[in-house]
Amino acid sequence: MTVNGHDVPLSEFQYLYLKNQQQTQLQPIDEYVEIFKLYKLKVNDALAMGLDTTKAFRDEYAQYRNELAQPYLTDSAYLEKLVKEAYDMYTVQVNPSHIMLSKSTNGAENRKVVNKLDSIRNLIVSGKMTFEEAAAQFSDDRGSKREGGKLGWTNNPQLPYKFLKAMYSQEPGQISEVVESPVAYHLIKIDGKHPHTGYLSASHIMKRFPRNATDEQKARAKEQIDSIYAVIVADPEKFEEMAVKFSDDGGSSRRGGKLEPFPQGAYPQPFDSIAFALNDNEISKPLMSPFGWHIVKRFGKRPFESYNQMHNTLMAIVTNPRDVRANMIADNQLKSLGKEFGLKPMNKNLKVITDYIAANGMDSLFLQKITAQLGNKPLYTFKGGMLTVADLNQQLQKLVNTDPIFAAQEFNERLDNVLLHKLLPLKEAKLEAANADYRNLLHEFRDGSLLYEAGRQRVWDRAATDTAGLKKYFEDHRSDYKWKQPRAKGFLIQATNDSVANLIKARMAQLDPKKMLSTIRREFADEMQIDQVLAPKGVSSMVDYLAFDGPEAKTSNSKYNTFWMSDLRVLDAPEELADVRGLVIADYQNYLMQQWEDELKEKYPVTVNTAVLRKVKK
């Protein structure tokens, strides 16, 4: 098909036709050809109007194009691999312990931290110190060091990626090598692993005893829990009441003992194993944990989340800019683009930079010095361009880091980021020609936006604002708007009493009809209600009584005890445009649309390639 001399590819027609068939009833292809011709004519007219050159359109189109391109610019298989890996780890509960030493802002100091952790590991592996003893003595994690480094059972997918990888790759009892996270270095020991079995819903009643409780304190708590248990055995329905009254767990007692749903391993033994071993609605005998005596009631178990249920959550985690996996995705993207566009490092020029950083870090003279030495010499070349020091100015001009180790790391990250943003536009520029899905979606958005704006200007806004045209259309088509049922028109007034009603009637007789409604509402605001009415029989009992000989009616509000209609007429057809304005606007829009379409058919030639259409039909 050609529209005003412009070719329309078959692929565009097929894409929109097939999409339309999925959304509506099957439509004969010949009918759709006529719809498609009008669609392309309107888009062509929008282009002739220059709507594609407006700032509003260009900004919206550029934003959509950028957002649409992102999935096509990312290696979806690699991304899905990371999400699947995150889910596989999520399906396993792990009980880790760690020894943590905090990072410094100095690279040399961090090497000392790593060496110290290596020495601690040697002490543990050689049997000179247990992991728990080393954690208590050396760890900077104040929360876990008192527990010998124990972190408790977890499958938290938001833990640092390297920590997660080390945690899940180890067997119970093993001690990891030094593991780096964003803020620290760690040694990790795994005390247990098991598959995630779902989330238990349960309640408990607890009588607490101190951390280092004496036998006497434990016995006193046991005596109290036994008394509570005796009441519950006699009447299990009292479990919630007893929890509210007597449980020492303030967090759950307010909810009748109800705990948040929890996975296996969330609570210490034997609480955990007994709770999971109960049948639904079964109540345990009193049991002792390290924190006190408990009675547990199990309600049920919710299954573990499926991959599909967790997919969006895990995708958000692995693509979070603060997660190291976001850098891995960018690195993979750069590697792929580098291969596609022949990215080549100019090692001699890069060495000028790396040598400077090794000696000085990125000091205040860094950018000035390397610019003076390298000028416009390329750091990298690729098909369609090169990268020079000038391309790094914005990224590096305010960056100062005199530590050579951190400076080198920072420079490489910024360099990769600039390279990626150099190559991405080249890839994006090829997408429209190379990828049919992307091209179809992009063209659909562009044409749809242009079509909407052209329709707004040619039809919808004009129908709403062209007062003279709208009035003429109504006068020319009055007979089309006759009503099947008569309608009562006038002002329906309700007043607090007859005296007020008489005052209102007298005042209305004095007023200009154009100002009457607003004036009456203002002067009698608290004593009456006035509404302009245009209604057939059956809409209002008061109107029915006054205009259509209906049964006696009451006011709509008990505040008022009298009502009447002023300027009442019973009409078979509208008196004026205002009586049917909404209907007339809709019809006038249809009239303008038809007028526009007829004009387009006369203005722009359309040729359909019948031979190609016959093939499509087959």
- The reply to whether 25 falls in a domain is no
- Range(s) of the domain holding residue 548: 483-572
Give 243-253 pLDDT, tens digit per residue.
Answer: 999 999 999 99
- Phi first, then psi: give them for residue 77, nearest 5 degrees: -65, -40
- The reply to whether 617 falls in a domain is no
Interatomic CA distance for residues 141 and 465, integer angstroms:
70
Interatomic CA distance for residues 70 and 224, integer angstroms:
63
Angle between helices 324-340 and 161-169 (to 10 degrees): 100
Whether 208 and 143 share a structural domain: no
Domain stops at, among 396, 417, 432: 432
- The reply to whether 28 falls in a domain is no
pLDDT band at 276 (very low <50, low <70, confident <90, very high): very high
DSSP three-state, residue 377: coil
pLDDT at 23: 67
- The reply to whether 598 falls in a domain is no
Interatomic CA distance for residues 35 and 39, integer angstroms:
6
Domain stops at, among 414, 432, 450: 432
Whether 257 and 298 share a structural domain: yes
Interatomic CA distance for residues 269 and 602, integer angstroms:
84
- The reply to whether 351 falls in a domain is yes
Interatomic CA distance for residues 165 and 82, integer angstroms:
12
Whether 336 and 427 share a structural domain: yes
Looking at this protein, which amino acid is placed at residue 442? Answer: L
pLDDT at 6: 86
Query: Count of residues for the chain?
Result: 618
How is residue 56 written in tokens?
A: 């509003």
Whether 110 and 129 share a structural domain: yes
- The reply to whether 81 falls in a domain is no
Q: Which long-range CB contacts under 8 A does 556-562 form with residues at least 24 apart?
A: 556/494, 557/494, 557/529, 559/496, 560/494, 560/495, 560/496, 560/528, 560/529, 561/495, 561/496, 561/497, 562/494, 562/495, 562/496, 562/497, 562/498, 562/501
pLDDT at 400: 87
Residue 176 CB partners (closer than 8 Å, separation 6+): 166, 170, 186, 187, 188, 189
- The reply to whether 454 falls in a domain is no
pLDDT at 232: 97
Q: Which H or E run includes 300?
A: strand 292-302
Q: Is-contact 379 396, C-beta < 8 A?
A: no
Q: Is-contact 39 600, C-beta < 8 A?
A: no
Whether 171 and 224 share a structural domain: no
pLDDT at 41: 94
Nearest to 150 by CA among 136, 162, 164: 136
Q: Is the pLDDT of residue 230 over 80?
A: yes
The CATH number given to whatever domain includes residue 97 is 3.10.50.40
How is residue 366 written in tokens?
A: 């860094």
Whether 382 and 335 share a structural domain: yes
pLDDT at 567: 93
Whether 244 and 336 share a structural domain: no
Whether 219 and 280 share a structural domain: yes
Structure-model confidence comparison of residues 100 and 26, the more confident one: 100
Q: Is the pLDDT of residue 499 over 90?
A: yes
Q: State how many domains the chain has.
A: 4
- The dihedral through the CA atoms of 252, 258, 264, 268 has a sign that is positive
Whether 373 and 296 share a structural domain: no
Whether 142 and 203 share a structural domain: no
Give 534-556 pLDDT, tens digit per residue.
Answer: 999 999 999 999 999 999 999 99
Whether 175 and 98 share a structural domain: yes
Mean pLDDT of the 56-69 span: 94
Q: Is the pLDDT of residue 3 over 80?
A: yes
- The reply to whether 43 falls in a domain is no
Give 138-187 pLDDT, tens digit per residue.
Answer: 999 998 999 999 998 999 999 999 999 999 999 999 999 999 999 999 99
How is residue 106 written in tokens?
A: 């100095």
Phi-psi region of 202 (alpha: psi -120 to 50; beta: other; left: phi over 0): beta
How is residue 340 written in tokens?
A: 């596609």
User: HEC profile for 150-185?
Assistant: ECCCECCCCCCHHHHHHHHHCCCCCECCCEECCCEE
Residue 595 CB partners (closer than 8 Å, separation 6+): none
Give 449-484 pLDDT, tens digit per residue.
Answer: 999 999 999 999 999 899 999 999 999 999 999 999
Interatomic CA distance for residues 322 and 183, integer angstroms:
12
DSSP three-state, residue 270: coil
Mean pLDDT of the 489-506 span: 96
Interatomic CA distance for residues 375 and 115, integer angstroms:
41
Q: Is-contact 123 221, C-beta < 8 A?
A: no
Interatomic CA distance for residues 396 and 616, integer angstroms:
57
Whether 392 and 292 share a structural domain: no
pLDDT at 16: 87
pLDDT at 412: 94
Q: How far is CA 456 from the centre of its chain?
A: 30
Residue 599 CB partners (closer than 8 Å, separation 6+): none
pLDDT at 535: 96
pLDDT at 24: 65
Domain stops at, among 145, 178, 195: 195
pLDDT band at 618 (very low <50, low <70, confident <90, very high): low
